[in-house]
């Protein structure tokens, strides 16, 4: 698995409320994208608290991670969050999201994954994750609401998918709306780390 991402602050802001992280626990790879509500310092604090919870949560699926984040960031303004767990041995992908964040799988097939309404940090119901199976060289993309809902990866970008950082930057340049902080995270599934 190779992961890369790009973020951009709302114009005029020093702080960015959109952030992401990845981690490995045993053989499971996990990726989280967090969009702190609004923008500026308080949005960044919410995102930072959510990612701190993500980093310290023991092995759990995306639904449990989101519930633990919900408890951990109650003193912040809250966030929209999407979490993906990737199991290379079984080619299993499990994704769950709360709020206006999105995910999609691009490759031989295209699957858009919807998040459920809500705000992490305000008391959420346990989300129902979506489980998919992936093939080598599929590209998982997570993005915040500062990026157009219609984000798409065309064939020219799929040729660059072995460089997830470059793909994330190109998608951010092409699809950022300019109305909020923005983030895109790309994960090449079945790729080898360099």
Domain residue extents for the chain: 2-188
SS3 annotation, the chain: CEEEEEEECCCCCCCCCEEEEEEEECCEEEEEEEEECCCCHHHHHHHHHHHHHHHHCCCCCHHHHHHHHHHHCCCCCCEEEEEEEEECCCCEEEEEEECCCEEEEECCCCEEECCECCCECCCCCCCCCEEEECCCCCEEEEECCCECCCCCCCHHHHCCCCCHHHHHHHHHHHHECCCCCEEEEEEECCCCCC
Fold of 2-188: Phosphatase 2c; domain 1 (3.60.40)
**Least confident segment among 44-48, 68-72, 119-123, 134-138:** 134-138
What is the mean pLDDT of the segment spanning 147-171? 86
pLDDT digit string (tens) for 46-81? 999 999 999 998 889 999 999 999 999 999 999 999
Q: Is the pLDDT of residue 191 over 70?
A: no
């Amino acid at each position: 698995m190779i992961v890369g991402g790009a973020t951009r602050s709302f114009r005029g802001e020093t702080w960015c409320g959109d952030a992401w992280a990845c981690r490995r626990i045993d053989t499971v790879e996990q990726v989280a994208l967090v969009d702190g509500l609004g923008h500026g310092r308080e949005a960044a604090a919410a995102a930072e608290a959510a990612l701190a919870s993500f980093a310290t949560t023991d092995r759990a699926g995306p639904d449990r991670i989101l519930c633990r984040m919900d408890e951990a960031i109650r003193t912040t303004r809250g966030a929209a969050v999407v979490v993906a767990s990737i199991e290379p041995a079984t080619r299993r992908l499990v994704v769950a999201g709360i709020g206006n964040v999105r995910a999609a799988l691009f490759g031989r097939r295209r699957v858009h994954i919807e998040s459920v309404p809500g705000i992490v940090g305000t008391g959420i119901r346990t989300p129902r994750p979506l489980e998919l199976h992936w093939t080598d060289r599929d590209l998982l993309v997570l993005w915040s609401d500062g990026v157009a809902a219609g984000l798409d990866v065309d064939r020219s970008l799929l040729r660059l998918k072995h460089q997830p950082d470059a793909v994330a930057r190109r998608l951010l340049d092409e699809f950022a709306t300019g109305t909020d902080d923005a983030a895109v995270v790309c994960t090449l599934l079945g790729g080898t780390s360099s």
